[in-house]
């Protein structure tokens, strides 16, 4: 017989979801109201404003898509591309590959710009590819590659798109609230994010924002968007300003309470403070990791503070360590992907989970676990080194 599910109390330090704060969980449990209730419509307006802050944009079309980050990704591609179009797609990890899939499913052609996993997107390569393909309509890239913990130069890439009369599609799923995202200063055109990474909200919602240039392109479409659910022209009638708020789908009402609360927490902390906190905790973690004798995989200049790629010592069983952390410490860290499968761990310090307590817990748990497995590590130094960063 099935019975009520009581999840264990984990500490989530993987690639997402991240720990959700009690305040956000409490908001989730408030009474459900109708999705066209005037009070809910008011909440929708506030969420849009709070999202404009999180994205640093004045874009009117800034809304949460009622589905996970992957749906936000798809929303950007299906609305900007039509059959026969060409898109330049940068790949330096898992998510660039998914972008290619999206382009091709729109009946468009993807021109790939490949960079090694663990390295940022090469601006020079993208410039060269634009010279060969001046007819590209879109440039798509991932700002914060969660599969490797690498940041790419979003500002320079958006500028290149502009210079070549293309629209930029930017994945900021892992970057929003963790590192600087500045949609208007970048001149980015279609940007999507997720709720379960540095916003520390429940999974399943994808904030998106479209520039006036992107909205113009959407309104000028002659080919129907292939997805009914993600067609922005239809969604604008539900979330848009100065509309009657016609029924399109039923928004996940309670999840929107949670998103609203997590955005309020972000607003109260202030974006700069949130970025600073992520940076500080990252520095402490790195100090501890290196004091233990382990190595960071990504070059210091390219590292994401919210996702840390750590080399697994020779002869140590990746899964055994992660299983021990989970069963003995209720601590989740992420496995490596692609080129890094079995070779590196991904330690997330995202949103609410980016705090001193988690950094120290993780260092301590890792040191004990690796020590018991006979890994050649320095004992008794990691926590001290991390604390020195906080001092």
Closest distance of CB 42 from ligand PLP, Å: 27
Would you give the DSSP letter of residue 303? B
How many residues lie near ligand PLP (CB under 6 A)?
13
Q: Which of 14, 120, 149, 194 binds ligand PLP (CB under 6 A)?
A: 194
User: CA-to-CA distance for 148 and 264, rounded, in angstroms?
Assistant: 29
Q: Which of 70, 109, 267, 387 binds ligand PLP (CB under 6 A)?
A: 70
Closest distance of CB 125 from ligand PLP, Å: 20
Cβ atoms of 354 and 281 within 8 Å: the answer is yes
Closest of 187, 234, 212 to residue 78, by C-alpha: 234
User: CA-to-CA distance for 178 and 274, rounded, in angstroms?
Assistant: 7
Q: Which is nearer to ligand PLP, 173 or 199 (CB)?
A: 173
At which residue do the structure tokens 């980015």 appear? 188
Region near ligand PLP per CB under 6 A, out of 23-31, 33-41, 69-77, 241-249:
69-77
16 makes contact with ligand PLP (CB under 6 A):
yes
Binding to ligand PLP, residues 130-159 (CB under 6 A): 142, 146
Cβ atoms of 304 and 173 within 8 Å: the answer is no
User: CA-to-CA distance for 170 and 391, rounded, in angstroms?
Assistant: 37
367 makes contact with ligand PLP (CB under 6 A):
no
Phi/psi of residue 64, nearest 5 degrees: -90, 125
95 makes contact with ligand PLP (CB under 6 A):
yes
Binding flags for ligand PLP, 72-91, as an x/- string (CB under 6 A): -x------------------
Region near ligand PLP per CB under 6 A, out of 123-131, 167-175, 178-186, 366-374:
167-175
5 CB contacts (<8 Å, ≥6 apart)?
A: none
Phi/psi of residue 221, nearest 5 degrees: -60, 140
In the complex, which residues of this chain contact ligand PLP (CB under 6 A)?
16, 68-70, 73, 95, 142, 146, 171, 173-174, 194, 203
């Amino acid at each position: 017989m099935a019975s009520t599910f009581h999840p264990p109390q984990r500490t989530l330090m993987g690639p997402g979801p991240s720990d959700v704060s009690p305040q956000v969980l409490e908001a989730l449990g408030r009474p459900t109201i109708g999705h066209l209730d005037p009070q809910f419509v008011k909440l929708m307006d506030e969420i849009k404003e709070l999202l404009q802050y999180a994205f640093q944009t004045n874009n009117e079309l800034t809304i949460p898509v009622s589905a996970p980050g992957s749906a936000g990704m798809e929303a950007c591609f299906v609305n900007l591309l039509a059959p026969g179009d060409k898109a330049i797609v940068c790949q330096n990890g898992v998510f660039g590959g998914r972008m290619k899939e999206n382009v091709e499913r729109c009946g468009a052609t993807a021109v790939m710009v490949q960079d090694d996993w663990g390295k940022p997107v090469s601006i020079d390569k993208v410039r060269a590819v634009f010279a060969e393909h001046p007819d590209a309509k879109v440039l798509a890239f991932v700002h914060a590659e969660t599969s490797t913990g690498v940041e790419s130069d979003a500002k320079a890439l958006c500028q290149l798109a502009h210079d070549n009369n293309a629209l930029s599609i930017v994945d900021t799923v892992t970057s929003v609230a963790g590192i600087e995202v500045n949609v208007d200063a970048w001149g980015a055109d279609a940007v999507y994010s997720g709720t379960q990474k540095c916003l520390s909200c429940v999974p399943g919602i994808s904030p998106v924002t479209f520039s006036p240039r992107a909205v113009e392109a959407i309104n000028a479409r002659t080919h129907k968007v292939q997805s009914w659910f993600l067609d922005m022209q239809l969604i604008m009638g539900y979330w848009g300003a100065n509309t009657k708020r016609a029924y399109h789908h039923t928004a996940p009402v309670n999840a929107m309470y949670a998103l609203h609360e997590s955005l309020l927490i972000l607003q109260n902390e202030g974006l700069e403070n949130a970025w600073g906190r992520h940076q500080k905790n990252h520095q402490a973690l790195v100090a501890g990791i290196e004091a233990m004798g382990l190595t960071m995989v990504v070059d210091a200049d390219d590292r994401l503070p919210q996702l840390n790629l750590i080399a697994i010592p020779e002869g140590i069983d990746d899964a055994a360590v992660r299983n021990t952390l989970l069963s003995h410490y209720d601590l989740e860290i992420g496995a490596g992907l692609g080129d890094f499968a079995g070779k590196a761990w991904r330690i997330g310090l995202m949103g609410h989970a980016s705090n001193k307590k988690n950094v120290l817990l993780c260092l301590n748990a890792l040191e004990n676990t690796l020590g018991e497995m006979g890994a050649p590590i320095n004992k008794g130094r990691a926590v001290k080194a991390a604390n020195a960063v906080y001092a």
